Amino acid sequence: MKEFVLLVYTSSHAIGIEKKLKNLGVPCKLSSIPRNLSSDCGICVRFDEIGLKTVEDLVKTLPFDIQEIVALES
């Protein structure tokens, strides 16, 4: 199953998004950002393709910008 990471600008945004996704039933976890990706924040939210649509919908409602959603290489 394909995995994705959601990159954000602050750790508090990552923590808040993780909490919202878990409340929506999306399996996810906080993780260190993979070395090949750069971000202003040291953590990201990791999830699989089952949660992708929910994550994309949630991002549209946030009062702040995210950096990007990145598909991880297998």
Residue 39: per-residue pLDDT: 62
Is 36 a residue whose pLDDT tops 90? Answer: no
The 10s digit of each residue's pLDDT in 43-71 is 999 999 999 999 999 999 999 999 999 99
Residue 38 has pLDDT above 80, yes or no: no
Tokens of 55: 């994550």
Place of tokens 């950002």: 33
SS3 track for the chain: CCEEEEECCCHHHHHHHHHHHHHCCCCEEEEECCCCCCCCCCEEEEEEHHHHHHHHHHHHHCCCCCCEEEECCC
CATH number for the domain harbouring residue 7: 3.30.70
pTM beyond 0.85: the answer is yes
* C-alpha–C-alpha distance, residues 64 and 37, integer Å: 21
Range of the domain at 20: 3-71
- Count how many domains the chain has: 1
